[in-house]
Amino acid sequence: MGRYLLRRTFVLALSLIAAGLVLFVLLRLLPGDPSAALLSVGADEAQIAAAREQVGSDLPIWMQLGKFLSDLARFDLGKSFVSGAPVLPEIMARLSVTLPLTVASFLLAILIAVPLGIISALRADRWYGGLLSAVSQLGIAVPVFWIGILLIWIVAVKFRLLPASGFPMKGWEDAAGAFRALILPVVTIALVMLASLMRYVRSATFDVLGADYLRNARALGASFPQALIRHGIRNGAVPVISILGIELASTLLGAVVVERVFALPGLGSMLLLGIQQRDYPTVQGVLLVSTLMVLLIGFLADVIQRVIDPRLRETVTGR
Amino acid sequence: MKKTSLWIGAILVGINVVIALLTLVWLPYDPTAMSGGRLAAPSWAHWAGTDRLGRDYFTQVMIGARIALTVAVGAAALGGLIGTTLGVLAAFAQRGFDDALAATLDILIAFPTLLLAMLVVAASDGASLGTAILAIGIAMSAIIARLVRILTKRVLAQDYITAARCSGLGWGRIVLVHVLPNIAPTVLVAIALQFGLAVIAEASLSYLGLGAPPPNASWGQLLQSAQSTVFNAPIGVIAPGLALMALVLGINFLADGLRDLLDPERGAA
């Protein structure tokens, strides 16, 4: 296990560097000079040259790369072209909205999807088993922002139970306000996530139900629930965990749409604004931080799978 | 059961295709003309009411079907073409190239379609129908390429490939005669499933203001502008959403049905 962790950490570091390079290249492939964000229409030669110097796009590409890497090593993500403020503190501030949003929706979705998925597989022949899988079919066929708008309409506009959008100016200092502001977005993401998770849990449960070890456990005298809890969950969880990792990562990054629906000042809306304003350091910084988190989630999912399933530990890693 | 899902899917998708084609030759109202009062409720004259400028809403939802299908078909064609080519090349390639491609694809897939699409839109000058197709197609090609790579490797390991090689068949012919026909069913089903995701991705992009600009209003854009008037005219939020749900649901049913038909091994699981 120790050697595996070491190896996996090494891979993690390598992928982060690779992702950073890919991002660097991608952003330099964009047409137009990054300094354009600083200039107004009709700027003269001298102004353009000054802007290019300020941004650093007058340097040769390899010097830009060197500066990018050395800044990165010092956790310096640069300053926004638009506001002039450093990018990293802004990202941290916005994470205080996006992280609770993502983690809470994720936990809520798991809490509901796992039991419902198992029930819909165990009782596939009953009406509610069929109903559950039909509902999850519907859930994967709608965009998350539509669910958000419908919830705003019913809960916030019609019944005025919760705020329709926005986040308290004081952030988490106004804890009650922040909490209320996040309820609808969390439910929105959780509903959509829960639909697809339920399908995976359902099919993992079907696999488990047909497995020999379950029949053997029953033959050795375990009751059906005992066999399912002792053997089924542990076996069924392995494929579901890798799906969970992917789901969590895509929620983190996909929060951009939900943040827009509810006008939340999160990481996603920062990225959207950065793209609209062609603010390269902001876009680059947000993407780097979110890539880091996506890679970390993948790392955790791999490690947890190994802890649960000893068979994965013994196989020689390689192709 | 298998046939039912194929039929439901075919009908739902069929309705959307017919409406999309219809908009090319006939529309109930001029989509840019003020044909009724502002935010009118649904009536016989205006099936889905009117928008805040008094334009017929049903007409706009119909046009949305065309936009959604255009982007999804374009993205699926692009993603399928690039993905299949890359996947086959990777399967044939030297180990170094194959490893590098596999690693790159894994990183790309870790990024959700929407984010990749946002980057492509940022890279091109302004959003349009073309950038939406390009963006979603590129994101899709990573998923298809990974699948095609694995499938092709599996086919290449078969004895009949060795036999074909021994009888002097070139690699180009082998790909055409043996590889592509063998992987086609599974790849087609994967593309069909991606097709539904492409419709949702397009709606999300245009909801964010990164899709095709008006007057080619897509469902995402209709939803975006209807959100602020939801209290007075909830139909504006309901109609495009239902249309979108019907299309994606239809595509998913069709894909499931196709899988049972073309790819019974995977369908049984």
The correct answer on CATH 1.10.10.60 for the domain covering B2-18+54-268 is no
Q: Are the CB atoms for A130 and A123 separated by under 8 Å?
A: no
CB A259 within 8 A of CB A269: yes
- Is CATH 1.50.10.20 the right assignment for the domain spanning A88-280+288-308? no
**Mutation for testing the A interface, residue in B108, B200, B247 having most A CBs under 10 Å:** B200
How far is the CA of B119 from the CAs of A225, B71, B107, B136, in angstroms? 49, 17, 15, 11
Tell the burial category of A273 from Cβ atoms under 10 Å away from its Cβ (0-12, 13-18, 19+). Answer: middle
Q: Do B118 and A146 touch (CB under 8 A)?
A: no
- Residue A187: what pLDDT? 92
Contacts of B118 in chain A (CB under 8 A): 256, 271-272, 275
pLDDT tens, residue by residue, B203-244: 988 898 887 776 677 898 888 888 888 777 788 888 899 999
What does the domain layout of chain B look like in residue ranges? 2-18+54-268
Per-domain residue ranges of chain A? 88-280+288-308
Residue with tokens 């509610």: A128
d(CA B102, CA B150): 10
The reported pLDDT for the residue numbered A105 is 92
Gyration radius of chain B over CA positions: 22
Which residues in B have their CB inside 8 Å of a CB on A? 103-104, 107, 110-112, 114-115, 118-119, 121-125, 196, 200, 203-204, 207-210, 220, 223, 226-227, 230-231, 234, 237, 241, 244-245, 248-249, 252, 269
pLDDT of residue B54: 73
Task: Identify the band that residue B111 occupies on the pLDDT scale cut at 50, 70 and 90.
Answer: low
> Can you list the residues of chain A whose pLDDT is less than 50?
316-319
* pTM of the predicted model over 0.95: no
**ipTM of model:** 0.84
Q: Collect all residues of chain A within an 8 Å Cβ-Cβ radius of residue B268.
A: none
Give how far Cα B105 sits from Cα of A3, A11, A252, B164, B184, Å.
26, 15, 20, 30, 21
Record: contact B230-A152, CB cut-off 8 A: yes
Q: Say what percent of chain A tops pLDDT 90.
A: 8
Using N-to-C axis directions, what is the helix angle for B219-227 and B180-207, rounded to 10°?
20
